[in-house]
Amino acid sequence: MIIYENKIKEAEKLKEEIERYRPISSNLLKQLREYYRIGLTYSSNAIEGNSLTETETKVVLEDGITIGGKPLIDHYEATGHSEAYNLLLEIVKDREIKEKDILDLHYLFYYRIDKENAGRYRKEKVIITGSSYLPPLPNKVSALMKRFIEEIPIMKEGHHPIECAALLHKEFVAIHPFVDGNGRVARLLMNLALLQEEYTITIIPPVKRVDYINFLEIAHTKKDTRPFINFISCMVYESLKEYLIIIRG
């Protein structure tokens, strides 16, 4: 397993450099939003096994064309994630994270796939494939989510924004409140927390999937969050580097 160094200080420097380019023109800002709609949708879905390539995801979202030979559910996941991304950009303005926001993000991602369970907490046990961690029983989920929401402001006050985003992701996945789509909502939630602190969209490339899952497993089973925080800090750093290259160009 690769050891990831903490890149929070380096990420802060890149963020400061990006600030010098603001305000960004409305035309470039629009292009950036579309760029990350494709990139985040593709990567987040691919981590969960979606078969659409980045180019195919772009075709589905921009042209509304289905890809021959690809499962219909993969198209639903792409379209749903894109709609959840739109909502993400809207709720960033509120500067807080509410329970309704999380339910709405899941609903938009999932309603084409399973409308009955979209935006609703699970009422059945779930198993995380390939993990020895067992999520809480369904009758505990609602109370755990309410406590999770209540603790977000405390988490924000007590941690650096990148640490906070990583911990929000980790805690949400530990609860695993939905029957499916938890990973994708967790990554949207992580990005919501980052955007609210004026960081950029952070993408976890599918090639990093094994490390990503391993560090989450360590956080859940060994109660050691540092490797996961370090990993996320590196993903934030790399995403900031890419963003800076784009706006310089």
H/E stretch holding 172 reads: helix 161-175
Check residue 130 and give its pLDDT. Answer: 83
User: What is the arithmetic mean of pLDDT over 144-155?
Assistant: 96
176 noted as active-site residue: yes
Every domain of the chain and the residues it spans: 8-248
- Spatial separation of the C-alpha atoms in residues 105 and 9, rounded to whole Å: 31
Residue 249 pLDDT > 90, yes or no? Answer: no
pTM beyond cutoff 0.85: yes
Confidence of residue 186 (pLDDT cuts 50, 70, 90): very high
For 3-17, give one letter per residue: b (16+ CB within 10 A) or e: ebebbbebbbebbee
CA 54 → CA 105, 122, 205, distances in Å? 22, 30, 11
Check residue 129 and give its pLDDT. Answer: 85
Confidence of residue 153 (pLDDT cuts 50, 70, 90): very high
Check residue 95 and give its pLDDT. Answer: 85
Check residue 33 and give its pLDDT. Answer: 96
Confidence of residue 47 (pLDDT cuts 50, 70, 90): very high
Under CATH, which architecture does the 8-248 domain have? Orthogonal Bundle (1.10)
Instruction: List, for residues 84-122, the tens digit of each pLDDT value.
Output: 999 999 999 888 999 999 999 999 999 999 999 999 999
From the candidates 81, 106, 176, 220, give the one annotated as an active-site residue: 176
